[in-house]
Amino acid sequence: MITSVLVANRGEIACRIFRTCAEAGIRTVAVHSDPDADALHTRVADAAVRLPGATPADTYLRADLVVKAAIASGADAVHPGYGFLSENAGFARAVLDAGLVWIGPPPSAIEAMASKTRAKELMGLAPLAEVTPADLPVLVKAAAGGGGRGMRIVRRMEDLTAALESARAEATSAFGDGEVFVEPYVEDGRHVEVQILADTHGTVWALGTRDCSLQRRHQKVIEEAPAPGLSDDLRAQLHGLAVRAARAVDYVGAGTVEFLVSGTKAHFLEMNTRLQVEHPVTEAVFGIDLVAEQIRIAEGAPLPDEPPPARGHAVEARLYAEDPSRDWAPQTGTLHRLSVPASVRLDTGYESGDDIGVHYDPMLAKVVAYAPTRAEAVRKLAGALEKATIHGPTTNRDLLLNSLRHKEFTTARMDTGFYDRHLPDLTGPAPDPLAPLAAALADATGRSRFGGFRNLPSAPQTKRYEMAGEEHEVHYRHTRDGLEADGVRVLHADAGRVVLEVDGVQRKFEVSRYGDQVHVGGVALKSLPRFPDPTAQHAPGSLLAHMPGTVVRIADGLGEGSAVEAGQPLLWLEAMKMEHKITAPVTGTLAALNAVPGQQVTVGSLLAVVEPT
């Protein structure tokens, strides 16, 4: 019997595994980098071992250090979670060679499915050997790794060479393996996957389907189980192919087989030899704990001949610290408050007051709703997100809400091109127009020494706020009856709560302030100074870093004095596992280049200046 588990991971998945271990009476051990010394997964574990350094390459990807940590802490088993070393056959072997229990598939199965090209060969498929105009569009894809890294869609032959080079560079940086391949790109396809679970006695379960079509940059955003609208024949075909893939490599444990579905045809994508981020929706529908099953299987226990029946529907939304309206730029800073209604499941690696750093994925939490029907589950999840309190850096919460309520999603007609078609509509500024006024009134009462009473009306007061990228100016005055604003009746105002009446309708606002950042309900505002700072100006054509990160490369042949075209890539930043392209804002001359590969930059750092022609 396993008595102590080290989780070779961090954040949300480490906390989730620890929760199951605690319920089973199993001691837990965390590993942490220096930035994660006070992270939630480090705090909740029974024991923690430091991995010196900050970057994943120096810490969570060091198999030797993780194995040493397991031995030093007295753990007798290792769970890899997902990402990092979870699909590294060498790490699995090192764990087993150290006499520890590996809570995962055999190294041989990981190795067989680690390369997407070899996985396709096992399934009797092969990538394109040569690309012709008739094959377009195609997808350039990294053979190793996942998470959308090293993937490029190519629609024109003249773009193929650049896409191959870019994908190779990103794959080498992310996985240490620059091998890429090319396959047909299925337009308007759905991303459907099958959860499998296999024991050491020859039993393989296909635990239904999941739809993960809503993706940004090939990374999933909203997932659900079961995948809606599949025929019985197609569902049976997917289950059969998934079981076939598992048996082909003598699979053991939890894994996922992924497909692209177009019409009634299923195209095999890959097999992920680990637990998936979206596993909670399958747990909800089948009423099981997949991590608990992984542990039982690692202890040698057999599965029943048949899985439990599926009931109801579950939907999961990934809450990210990112700005979808600014090319999904990751955000950092203090998460002042995180709270969601108890009616939904919350898997997170953060608590109120924690800092969101630059080194890791920007996912804050997974919010999961379960209900008897799909429509009820979607409504329940949207309602919970709307009522959630998320104070701190910008998140994708509004995007998630708008996505869940979009007609294409509610009628289950979505596909992987959903955000390509609808992103501007889903991220357009539509915050509450009364939010700046509520912020100003709360600030006025919170800062006034003697309250809002005045024997005579005062001169109008003015405050400025930035909301959804736009500046808003509000006016109010103090009177003998309290605060007053044109067209709005102020029923109550204090530092934390404002009640307004507009056209006979009463509106209530909860207000929180953190320095110059103000949250009014779900709306984030920035308090602006009365007069703009004249020193905060930059020359026209200046390119500023809109996120903290690392400069990973500069465009070939680029230097000061180079002629550039508007939209031309100049350099690439990497932040939180994502690569961001910085392009020339205008056609002109590169007057200054202040960035070099490997340089760490902060928000607002001047990267380059392009003088317009």
Where do the domains of the chain lie? 4-103, 123-184, 190-427, 435-528, 538-612
Say which DSSP state 175 is in.
H
User: Cα 518 to chain center, whole Å?
Assistant: 24
State the pLDDT at residue 202.
96
State the pLDDT at residue 184.
82
Beta bridge partners of 323: 329
Least confident of 113-127, 219-233, 362-376, 501-515: 113-127
Stronger pLDDT, 374 or 172, i.e. the higher one: 374
Q: Which CATH number fits domain 4-103: 3.30.70.920, 3.50.50.60, 3.40.47.10, 3.40.50.20?
A: 3.40.50.20
Task: Look at residue 535 and tell me whether its pLDDT is greater than 50.
Answer: no
Q: Which CATH superfamily is domain 190-427 in?
A: ATP-grasp fold, B domain (3.30.470.20)
- C-alpha distances in angstroms, 591 versus 349, 399, 538, 588? 43, 37, 14, 9
**274 included as an active-site residue:** yes
**Using CA atoms, how far apart are residues 597 and 374, in angstroms rounded to an integer?**
48
Least confident of 284-298, 307-321, 505-519, 575-589: 575-589
Task: Look at residue 458 and tell me whether its pLDDT is greater than 70.
Answer: no
Beta bridge partners of 51: none
CATH topology of domain 435-528: Glycoprotein, Type 4 Pilin (3.30.700)
State the pLDDT at residue 576.
64
**Using CA atoms, how far apart are residues 370 and 250, in angstroms rounded to an integer?**
33
H/E/C letters for each residue in 402-441?
A: HHHCCHHHHCCCCCCCHHHHHHHHHHCCCCCCCHHHHHHH
Query: Are 453 and 482 within 8 A, CB to CB?
Result: yes
Least confident of 2-11, 43-52, 345-354, 565-574: 565-574
Task: Look at residue 598 and tell me whether its pLDDT is greater than 50.
Answer: yes
pLDDT, mean of residues 322-337: 92
pLDDT, mean of residues 216-242: 95
What does the buried/exposed string (b/e) look like for 410-428 if buried means 16 or more CB atoms within 10 Å of the residue's CB? bebebbbebbeebbeebbe
Q: Give the model's confidence band at 172: pLDDT under 50 very low, under 70 low, under 90 confident, else very high.
A: confident
**Using CA atoms, how far apart are residues 218 and 221, in angstroms rounded to an integer?**
9
Task: Look at residue 381 and tell me whether its pLDDT is greater than 80.
Answer: yes
**Using CA atoms, how far apart are residues 507 and 526, in angstroms rounded to an integer?**
21
Task: Look at residue 545 and tell me whether its pLDDT is greater than 70.
Answer: yes
Beta bridge partners of 189: none
State the pLDDT at residue 577.
63
Q: Give the model's confidence band at 600: pLDDT under 50 very low, under 70 low, under 90 confident, else very high.
A: confident
Locate 243 and state its tokens.
């079981």
State the pLDDT at residue 452.
47
What does the buried/exposed string (b/e) look like for 263-302 if buried means 16 or more CB atoms within 10 Å of the residue's CB? eeebebbbbbbbbbbbbbbbbbbbebbbbebbbbbbeeee
Q: Give the model's confidence band at 125: pLDDT under 50 very low, under 70 low, under 90 confident, else very high.
A: confident
State the pLDDT at residue 10.
97
Architecture per CATH, domain 538-612, reads as: Beta Barrel (2.40)
- Catalytic, out of 152, 190, 274, 397: 274
Beta bridge partners of 510: 497
Backbone dihedral angles phi then psi of residue 216, each to the nearest 5 degrees:
-125, 130
CATH class of 123-184: alpha beta
State the pLDDT at residue 449.
46
Least confident of 61-70, 338-347, 601-610: 601-610
**Using CA atoms, how far apart are residues 104 and 95, in angstroms rounded to an integer?**
11
Based on its alpha-carbon atoms, the radius of gyration of the chain, rounded to whole angstroms, reads: 26
Q: Give the model's confidence band at 223: pLDDT under 50 very low, under 70 low, under 90 confident, else very high.
A: very high
State the pLDDT at residue 230.
96
Stronger pLDDT, 412 or 536, i.e. the higher one: 412
Q: Token match 């195209």: residue?
A: 267
pLDDT, mean of residues 119-129: 77
Q: Give the model's confidence band at 92: pLDDT under 50 very low, under 70 low, under 90 confident, else very high.
A: very high
Q: Give the model's confidence band at 460: pLDDT under 50 very low, under 70 low, under 90 confident, else very high.
A: confident
> What percent of the chain is predicted at pLDDT more than 70?
95
